[in-house]
A and B are shown apart, each in its own frame.
Chain A
Amino acid sequence: MSVTLSHQIGERRPAGTENVVLEVHNLKVYYTTPTGDVRAVDDVSFEIREGEIVGLVGESGCGKTTTAMAILRLVQSPGRIVGGQILLDGQDLVRLNERELREIRWTRISLIPQGAMNSLNPVMRIKDQIGDAIETHEGRLPRKELQERILKLLAMVGLPSRVYHMYPHELSGGMKQRVCIAMAIVLNPTLVIADEPTSALDVVVQRVVGETLLEVKNRLGVSMILIGHDMGLMAQLVDRIAVMYAGRLVELSDVYSLFKEPLHPYTQLLIESIPSIKERKPLKLTEGLTHDLRNPPPGCIFQLRCPHVTDKCREVVPPLLEVQPHRRVACHLYYDV
């Protein structure tokens, strides 16, 4: 693991003109409940460029994971994709049938799951779990070739070769997470979705896993969606950040500008809430509650908690607009400028 995080920051590409790999347009995912639909993801649009890491942040229940699962078409019942387009290299995933989906999964989009602890099948050896992903999509391979490929992969994420023969329960949490990372890149996908890859790990292992992710990204040039609420980790890893609140995307910006000058009032509170070693500051984000997701108020979804709320916010839904170069925000405060 020679790549250090600080070194990495200097290498970051400017957000700009590269090829767009994934476009999400007006995605809506609702969960059916007896008392009405919960709008878990409501009208979300963004795009991922080639070789870019986009962070998806927001508080628990804001729709981050649901968005990710929708991209994989893995929304679990009672959830369903109600509308929108998910274009992967121009192909709309929402319209694919089961068989077409299976072909796309893992070959072009893969997942680093949220709970690496429980994401590996307890009764299968690591080699078989990585192997079945390969053989499902590429057909039977000679054992020797398969083994070589898996061993190379394990080495790449910094795991010793003995892991090859092991069962999940013989690995530590960090090792399991790295197995998951290795598994996610085995077929060289275009896009990797990492759903809180470090959330269940201690800070030291978090750092190692973060470095592994960067290393993988640099070597393979894959695009990544990194979901999480660890703003510190985000600052170190991602190129752009998308901030979600109550099922909506409220801000999408390159990571520097977002930390330096957050635009949306929610983002501002989020950045302010990052604990500092130097000073004790009060937590501001506790005031007010999120509205009932089944019955969002007219106008802006953040109006109940927003310190700058105006009458217009209570009537008109603010669209996500580009208010500065490469910066989009959904807030009335910025449209008039």
Chain B
Amino acid sequence: MAGLTPRYVLRRLGMFVLTVWLGATIIFIIPRLAPGDPVAAMVSRLMAQAGYIENSAEIIAAWRARFGLDGPIWVQYLAYLRNMVMLDMGYSLSSFPSQVDEMIADALPWTVGLLSVSTLLSFLIGNTIGALMGWPRVPAWIRALLPTTLTFTSIPFFMLGILLVYVFAYELRWFPPTGAYGRGLSPGWNWPFIKSLAQHGVLPVMSIVVTSMGFWALGMRGMIITNQGEDYMILAEAKGLRPSRVFLQYGIRNSILPQVTALALSLGGIAGGSTLVEYIFAYPGMGYLLYQGIVNTDYTLIQGIVFMLILGTATAVLILDLLLPILDPRISYER
């Protein structure tokens, strides 16, 4: 056993840096390939709002200098890379003079909170259902009942979101329809705020969990059933082990491995938010921010969010790379 060697960690870190750099470079290049000039577009938008502006050409030139768009492309590129490393993403084009990193910093905790809770819940519930569906010792009537919990999986989650808002927010009035917390509360570690946060979170979390747990359940069921035929399962039973131990240590333990990979990848995608769910519930997260960015053609904002998404995914893969060899000893640290 090689253990977590420095060499392995360094190589993984190298891969991480390479991935993020490639992603950042691509989002640097793409807007510059697109026709049009963002500063000219901004000025003409101002003109549309405020009427004719004198010496607009000079304004454009001044702003280009201000945004660093007048230098040669490689200077721009290096400046861009330096800014990305510092997580300085510049001004938002649509809500100038707000800074993109501040907007993201405001939105990110909401999204991370909402999506990590719903992803983990979905993972836990889905895998439990799937494992029980695939395990022959579970009473037949339970196994027959379990698939009904997956009925909603076939409905798109935003459709379910609308349905949930209608039933639980407008008809039953159990939960508030929109927002992340009640009006007049300020975020902090106090009971009224946390209660309000939980109440506001129920419907969005539910719409994601109910529609996505089928994905986990079906994967897990398949793995458990495949695993059933393995020789070590038969030997485990021949050893007279308790069914719970055979189920957990021999069945689940071997079936969970691909599920964990998928979990890490979906956790990595959290940084991008869930645009439709956040839109429906007017949840002030990354998805909602991205929606606004697209509607207002706010390139810097979109760029910032996409960069966070790249960073999140790369980080998740890095953590996964460091964790998997512990979960599955066959994955070697040395290769």
Which A residues from 23 to 47 make CB contacts under 8 A with B? Answer: none
Q: Is the CB of B241 within 8 A of A119?
A: no
Asked whether any CB of chain A lies closer than 8 Å to the CB of B237, the reply is: yes
The answer, among B136, B234, B245, B330, for a CB contact under 8 Å with A132, is B245
Contact A114/B231 with A123-B329, A132-B245, A136-B245 known, Cβ cut-off 8 Å: yes
Count class of interface residues, chain B: 20 to 34
Which B residues from 220 to 259 make CB contacts under 8 A with A? Answer: 230-232, 234-242, 245, 249-250, 253-254, 257
Contact A115/B231 with A123-B328, A123-B329, A167-B330 known, Cβ cut-off 8 Å: yes
Chain B interface, >50% SS class = helix
Interface string of A111-122 (1 = CB under 8 A from B): 101110111111
Asked whether any CB of chain B lies closer than 8 Å to the CB of A74, the reply is: yes
Asked whether any CB of chain B lies closer than 8 Å to the CB of A253, the reply is: no
Q: How far is the CB of B3 from chain A (nearest CB, A)?
A: 12
Q: How far is the CB of A128 from chain B (nearest CB, A)?
A: 9
Bound Cα distance from A115 to B242, whole angstroms = 23
The answer, among A104, A115, A132, A137, for a CB contact under 8 Å with B249, is A132
Q: How far is the CB of A303 from chain B (nearest CB, A)?
A: 35
Q: Which residue of A lies closest to B235 (CB)?
A: A119
Q: Which residue of B lies closest to A130 (CB)?
A: B239
Contact A169/B329 with A77-B136, A121-B250 known, Cβ cut-off 8 Å: yes
Q: Which residues of A contact B329 (CB under 8 A)?
A: 122-123, 125, 167, 169
Q: How far is the CB of B228 from chain A (nearest CB, A)?
A: 9
Asked whether any CB of chain B lies closer than 8 Å to the CB of A209, the reply is: no
Contact A74/B237 with A136-B242, A169-B329, A169-B330 known, Cβ cut-off 8 Å: yes
Q: Is the CB of B136 within 8 A of A113?
A: no
Bound Cα distance from A119 to B239, whole angstroms = 12
Q: Is the CB of B241 within 8 A of A113?
A: no
Pick from B238, B241, B328 the residue with the most CB of A within 10 Å.
B238
Q: Which residue of B lies closest to A107 (CB)?
A: B240
10 A–B contact pairs at CB < 8 A? A102-B240, A102-B242, A105-B239, A106-B239, A113-B234, A119-B234, A122-B329, A137-B240, A167-B1, A169-B330
7 residue pairs, one from A and one from B, having the closest CB atoms: A105-B240, A118-B231, A119-B231, A102-B240, A167-B329, A111-B238, A133-B239
Query: Which chain A residues have a beta carbon within 8 Å of chain B's beta carbons?
Result: 72, 74, 76-77, 101-107, 110-111, 113-115, 117-125, 132-133, 136-137, 165, 167, 169, 180, 183
Given contacts A105-B238, A121-B254, 15 further A-B contacts (CB under 8 A): A76-B234, A102-B242, A106-B240, A107-B240, A110-B239, A113-B235, A113-B238, A118-B230, A119-B234, A121-B236, A122-B254, A124-B249, A132-B249, A136-B240, A167-B329
